[in-house]
Amino acid sequence: MKQVLLKVLAALLIGIILGGSSMNLYISQQFEELVAKNKTLEAELSNTLKNLDDLKERTKQQQTNKVITDINANVKLIENDQSPSFESASAKLDAERKIKKYCCH
């Protein structure tokens, strides 16, 4: 009986050792894959952060170097019956020209 118990115990221990070894091999393979993926993601993150910093710098430069090159003036006059329409049109065009000249030249 003692010998049977030792054989069962030995088989159980061998099973535990073999099971642990096979789990170690399986997990180590997954671990290596995760480490490689982590390194790849860290490199991508580094490149993305560098690109983000470059974009921020370019945006900052573009914002400070803005120049108005054109303006659309839309002048509305209060019409009354006493002023002729051609005078109103002339005053409107004159005001729009002066605004454009002042802002864009």
pLDDT of residue 65: 67
pLDDT of residue 42: 97
pLDDT of residue 83: 61
Q: What is the largest CA-CA distance in the chain?
A: 128
Residue type, 33: E
pLDDT of the chain along its 105 residues, tens only?
A: 889 999 999 999 999 999 999 999 999 999 999 999 999 999 999 999 999 999 999 888 877 766 777 777 777 777 666 666 777 778 778 888 887 777 765
pLDDT of residue 96: 80
pTM of model > 0.85: no
CB 104 within 8 A of CB 68: yes
Looking up tokens 């997990």, which residue turns up?
27
